[in-house]
Amino acid sequence: MIPSDDLRLEIESYLGFLIDHDLEDAYEAEPINRTLSENKHAFKRAVAAPAQIPVTPVQAGHNVSQLRPQSLAHIELGTMLQEARQRAGAARTLDELYAELDAFQHMPLRHEGGKGIVKVRGNPTPELLVIGECPDAEEDAAGTAFAGKAGDMMDKALKAAGVFEKSLLSGCVFWRPAGGRPLTAEDVSLNAPFVQALIRLSAPKAILLLGASAVSCVLNMDQSLAKLRGQILSHGDTPKIPVMTSYPPNFLLRQPHAKGLFWKDLLTLVVKSGL
């Protein structure tokens, strides 16, 4: 029986492994000290023919780094954005904002399997508004922003800075993206009017943005967080609200060495804005 090409290559690979590690005569009667030069094996491994692996090329015009979820495949962004702005502008209270979000059936994010709107928590008339990243699984299950271990860490930091009782915490979007996927440009555009409405309704004295997604939704900036963090920026015209960008709590849980930088950013914002 003649072995197939795949089987032959597999056997050659296995034998090559044994030869490379001097294991081809491992079952001799007496052990061999391979650290001695006279016992080095002189057999040279034959070069196996390279396997031919078929590759299907990507069609021209497709950017695999910008693949979008199916829910965004056929949306009319202009029409939806106009509706989002109208609904967000009509809200006069937080309850009305939630009602408008609930009525906005064209929001693609709401149809990706999340349990419902992830609401803010904290002081409804805050001095500090904290806006984090997209809701994760714990926040989706709880229905409130900054839930779970990351939320506990944020609460402790705000308490230590003396601003917990006067803070309101929110995600940068109000539904969890499917599988925690990154936000697309369409997600940011359609959620931004509601985030701006939240800022208008809560009227904070300062804003803390945690993560690049929060920066995109609030400031419409695509610069890296590493370049922005630690700087006092501003939001709005009259009055201008001081804004600090820093690392999100889930990142801090994975990279504890960054906690010192986050703490410095928080204290700088508290002092500079007079909270």
pLDDT of residue 224: 82
| Closest to 154 (Cα-Cα) out of 231, 203, 211, 230 | 211
pTM: 0.73
Number of residues that this document lists for the chain: 275
pLDDT in tens, 64-119: 344 455 555 566 888 889 999 999 999 999 999 999 999 998 888 888 888 999 99
Residues 254 and 195: their CA atoms lie apart, in Å, by 27
- What letter represents residue 84's amino acid? A
Hey, what domains does the chain have and what are their CATH numbers?
A: 78-273 (3.40.470.10)
Stretch 207-228: mean pLDDT? 89
Is the pLDDT reported for residue 230 higher than 70?
yes
Residues 53 and 14: their CA atoms lie apart, in Å, by 19
Residues 172 and 124: their CA atoms lie apart, in Å, by 17
Alpha helix locations (H) across 208-274? 212-219, 225-228, 249-254, 259-273
**Sheet of 167-170, strand order:** 121-122, 167-170, 128-131, 206-210, 241-246, 232-235
* Proportion of the chain in helix, strand, coil states, percent, rounded to 5: 50, 10, 40
Q: Are β-strands 241-246 and 206-210 bridged in parallel, bridged antiparallel, or unpaired?
A: parallel
Q: Which are the contacts of 173, defined by CB distance < 8 A and separation ≥ 6?
A: 109, 134, 135, 183, 187, 191, 195, 213, 217
Mean pLDDT of the chain: 83
135-213-232 Cα angle (round to 5): 120
pLDDT in tens, 175-210: 999 888 888 888 999 999 999 999 999 999 999 999
Stretch 163-186: mean pLDDT? 93
Is the pLDDT reported for residue 2 higher than 70?
no
Of the two residues 127 and 228, the one the predictor is more confident about is 127
